[in-house]
Amino acid sequence: MAPQVFRTQSLIVHSHHALSLLCAILVFLSSNTMVFTSAQASNRSESDRQALLCFKSGISVDPLSALESWRNDSLDFCSWSGVFCSIALPVRVVVIQIRSARLTGTLSRCIAGLSSLEQMDLGYNGLSGSVPEEIGELGSLRTLDLAGNKFAGNIPLSLGASASLSYVNLADNSLSGVIPHSLSNSSSLSVIMLSWNNLSGVIPANLLMSSKLSYVDLQWNALSGAIPHFQKMDALKYLCLEGNLLSGNIPASLGNVSSLRSLMLGQNMLSGNIPAEIDNLVSLTELDMGQNMLSGQIPLTVWNLSNLFVLKLSMNRLSGKIPSTVSNLAQLGMFYLDDNELSGNIPANIGKFKRLLMLNLSVNRLDGFIPRELFSIPTLSLGLDLSNNNLTGRIPQEVGNLINLGLLNVSNNKLIGGLPFELGWCVQLLSLQMENNMLSGQIPQSLSALKVMQQIDLSENNLTGQVSQFFGNFSSLNYINISYNKFDGPVPTGGIFGNSTAVFLQGNTGLCETAAAIFGLPICPATSATKRKINAPLLLIITALITIASVIFVVVTIMKGPRTQPPEDFKETMKRVSYGDILKATNWFSLVNRISLSHTASVYIGRFESETDLVAIKVFHLSKQGSRTSFSTECEVLKNTRHRNLVQAITLCSTIDFEGDEFKAIAYEFMANGSLDMWIHPRVHGGSPRRLLSLGQRIRIAADVASALDYMHNHLTPPLIHCDLKPGNVLLDYDMTSRIGDFGSAQFLSSGIGGPAGLVGVGGTIGYIAPEYGMGCKISTDYDVYSFGVLLLEMLTAIRPTDALCGDALSLHKYVNLAFPDRIAEVLDPHMPSEEDQMAASERMQKYVIPLVGIGLMCTMESPNDRPGMHDVCARIVAIKEAVAL
Ligand SMILES: *[C@@H]1O[C@H](CO)[C@@H](O)[C@H](O)[C@H]1NC(C)=O
Ligand SMILES: *[C@@H]1O[C@H](CO)[C@@H](O)[C@H](O)[C@H]1NC(C)=O
Ligand SMILES: *[C@@H]1O[C@H](CO)[C@@H](O)[C@H](O)[C@H]1NC(C)=O
Ligand SMILES: *[C@@H]1O[C@H](CO)[C@@H](O)[C@H](O)[C@H]1NC(C)=O
Ligand SMILES: *[C@@H]1O[C@H](CO)[C@@H](O)[C@H](O)[C@H]1NC(C)=O
Ligand SMILES: *[C@@H]1O[C@H](CO)[C@@H](O)[C@H](O)[C@H]1NC(C)=O
């Protein structure tokens, strides 16, 4: 109604203006004859003109030139913009209206001279200083609007003294002090807006005794004390006292004000009960008593306020139950009872709301099921918040009826069961919060329709299965928390999953990553989808895993007899696992988990309960010949080796199974980045090019492998010879640290007795076997040096030693040697990321590539006598590695 008051006056003003113009023309065009006016009257007009010019002089900045026409040499002040004059003579200023003109400066006290002024509207400028006391002396003033300026100081003590004042809007300034008695005593005041100031003191008792007052807005001040009693307030429609420091009870006399449509008492310190008399307020459409300290039960009469559109009782200490008569509030659109002490069930009747947009019952003590009727309110669009209660049972499938819902929060309850498939119908959902319940099952595929989603929190439930890839396609998603569930399989890629700070995954033991390890999870062995249906990608993965899986077949050492058990001290350092642990980790020796099968053993991929890392578990077929020896010799290698660039065992298990039979297994750490072979020859491994290895990475890998071989050859007694070194047996950890695996052909070198064992069992792979071994030479460390040389050349050229070079006429060594050193760039891996600038490139070639190729060539010399030892090779490569790092 306030705006209405204003609009009506504006109309009057416009007619004033047209007529006053005519008058002005008559008066001033007839020169100084003053046909129609007395000298005295013309003098009063002139004093208005002077007052206006004086007002202008108080304005320091007028960026929009709103007062441009207000000139000293212009006599026709009624034509000045924003000035409206009376029709009657003498011509007087009745309205000044200069809104939103960005005027700065002060409001001069000379406006007191405008003694006929009825309306002053200077709203939304930048005027500062105090509101001049003289305003109270304007006996004709009906409307005063100074809202949205920077006025400070007190409200003029005389404001309201005039019996004509009906509209006062001083909102949104920096006024302080108290509400003056003159204002509260006014019998003419209809609208009073003092909101958004810094007024203090109490609300004057007589303010709420005026039968004319219809609109009172005192929100966001520092008013204290109690709300005065309401008397004779039969015009009051709007009362807003929100955001003050009011205390005490809400007076029961409130019930007298049956004209009230909006009652806003929120964010004060009101206490006591909500008066039952409130049911007299039959016209109430908006009731906000939120954020007080109200206690007791919500009076049943509240539920009779059938015109309510907004009911907000949030953040109080209200107790009791929500009665089924709640459905009497047939017009309700916004319903907030959150953060109280309400108990009992949510009545099914709540489903009778036909206009509800928003329901917040969060933070109460509600229990029982979520009534399915709640989901029969299709208008529910702004939000449904039932979080932080004790609700039990399942999320009803009817949730899918809420096709307009923007926010759904059922977090922090005791809900069980799965996410209903129908949730996927809620295609407008922007925020879905279900955290901290006991929800189980998988994320339904139907949720892929929730494409506008911005925030999802499913954390702290018992959800299982995979995290659906479609979350990676939600372009608006900016927060996803699925932590502390039982999700497994690959983390989706794309979209939000490129931003590790917006994604929360911790506490899920089964998750892994398919691409770059941005979440620090293991690299996936396979997507679960491929786990279920065996297909080509799985075979690729298996190839990679076999390198770990076909672990360690160690030929019996000659000096030491085979041992059937690892020594006790060795076992001490490892975690103990039982047959049952292995059973669970391998999913009951599931074929899905089995990644390799040989005569002596099966290898499974798995994860021990309460562990996050994947492991490769080799289970020995003890009934098969040689497997017992195989277990012992593997234990022997594990016992005797300890190096960061050798694959490590996590645990040994030698026990009896549930049938009482002997059972032996070894678990190895799982190498997240697969084998070096996959990195050098990405296309062979399924065509999807992984990240390409930089020169620096290749040098680090070479240094790691050389270091491991140096250790095996020169630091172990007796020396250990791998006998099958090749890119497929170099495994890469999360951080691309390489580790040599698969000791299936390894041999401890006899220090004394040569014996046939040196020849028997030499495995190796065509292309990597030193030429002398075709001729029956005794095994020596030279064997590994040759293989290492091939591996190094292969790493730099991405050419396999078995690739046909010049129609098989050349070995890799000869092929590279022909280009060495001047044309070496021509034989390098064309996919190696190139350096940015040519200078650096040629420098790198000279400093790193050529020396490395040189080492590779030396290691692959025909005669073992021409090959360097691993000690020297390692020293050279480590030096190159350190130079690169500089
Ligand atoms: C006209 O106004 C001036 C002041 O502006 C005053 O001094 C003068 O006496 C007035 N004359 C009449 C005739 O009222
Ligand atoms: C409001 O007034 C109080 C004193 O009554 C003063 O401490 C406070 O700074 C003022 N706040 C503003 C925003 O002017
Ligand atoms: C206002 O309400 C109070 C309390 O409900 C009552 O005692 C009083 O008579 C009422 N006054 C008027 C003027 O209606
Ligand atoms: C519901 O109420 C709670 C507690 O007052 C509040 O934290 C939450 O933001 C509200 N929910 C919505 C959707 O407004
Ligand atoms: C998850 O389920 C297990 C039993 O399956 C139960 O013991 C546990 O409490 C549940 N956890 C949560 C957070 O619901
Ligand atoms: C990543 O997420 C955080 C947190 O939501 C956000 O502040 C940041 O802007 C996001 N970064 C990018 C690149 O999207």
Strand pairing partners for 365? 343
Average pLDDT of the chain? 83
Q: Residues with Cβ within 6 A of ligand 3?
A: 231-232, 252-253, 255-256, 277
- End position of a domain, from candidates 507, 522, 537: 522
In a domain, 626, yes or no: yes
For the entire predicted model, the pTM comes to: 0.60
Same domain, 626 and 704: no
User: Which residue's CA is minimally distant from atom 10 of ligand 1?
Assistant: 43
Name the more confident of 14 and 134. Answer: 134
Sole residue written with tokens 């008792």:
205
Same domain, 630 and 691: no
Span 190-209, mean pLDDT? Answer: 94
Same domain, 728 and 876: yes
Residue 242 and residue 136: Cα distance in Å, rounded? 28
pLDDT tens, position by position, 764-813: 778 888 887 766 567 788 889 999 999 999 999 999 998 888 777 778 99
- End position of a domain, from candidates 522, 542, 577: 522
38 C-beta closer than 6 A to ligand 1: no
Q: Confirm if 226 and 247 have CB atoms less than 8 A apart.
A: yes
The amino acid that residue 362 corresponds to is S
CATH code of residue 634 = 3.30.200.20
Which pLDDT value is given to residue 803? 86
Task: Work out the number of other CB atoms within 10 angstroms of the CB of residue 213.
Answer: 26
Ligand nearest to the CA of 46: 1
In a domain, 404, yes or no: yes
- Proportion of the chain above pLDDT 90, given as a percent: 49
43 C-beta closer than 6 A to ligand 1: yes
In a domain, 22, yes or no: no
| Per-position b or e across 163-198, b if 16+ CB within 10 A of its CB | eebbbbbbbbbebbebbbebbbebeebbbbbbbbbe
Same domain, 747 and 869: yes
User: Which two three-digit tokens encode residue 31?
Assistant: 């020169």
* Ligand 6 geometric centre to CA of 511 (Å): 22
Ligand 5: atom nearest CA of 460 is 13
In a domain, 299, yes or no: no
Same domain, 662 and 680: no
In a domain, 376, yes or no: yes
Same domain, 756 and 802: yes
Strand pairing partners for 321? 343
Residue 574 pLDDT level (bands cut at 50, 70, 90): low
Q: Is 27 helix (H, G, I), strand (E, B) or coil?
A: helix
In a domain, 291, yes or no: no
CATH code of residue 734 = 1.10.510.10
245 C-beta closer than 6 A to ligand 2: no
Same domain, 507 and 475: yes
- End position of a domain, from candidates 522, 557, 587: 522
User: Which two three-digit tokens encode residue 392?
Assistant: 């039990």
Number of domains comprising the chain: 3
Ligand 1: atom nearest CA of 46 is 5
In a domain, 28, yes or no: no
Give the range of the structural domain holding residue 436, as residue numbers without chain letter: 354-522
Strand pairing partners for 120? 96, 144
pLDDT tens, position by position, 733-759: 878 899 997 776 777 876 443 333 343
In a domain, 563, yes or no: no
Same domain, 629 and 686: no
CATH code of residue 473 = 3.80.10.10
Q: Is the pLDDT of residue 45 over 90?
A: no
Residue 839 pLDDT level (bands cut at 50, 70, 90): low
Which pLDDT value is given to residue 733? 82
Same domain, 367 and 448: yes
Q: Is 88 helix (H, G, I), strand (E, B) or coil?
A: coil
Residue 5 and residue 8: Cα distance in Å, rounded? 5
| Per-position b or e across 472-492, b if 16+ CB within 10 A of its CB | bebeebebbbbbbbebbbbbb
Same domain, 658 and 724: no
Same domain, 633 and 689: no
340 C-beta closer than 6 A to ligand 4: no
Q: Confirm if 637 and 666 have CB atoms less than 8 A apart.
A: no
Same domain, 362 and 490: yes
pLDDT tens, position by position, 124-145: 999 999 999 999 989 999 999 9
Residue 850 pLDDT level (bands cut at 50, 70, 90): confident
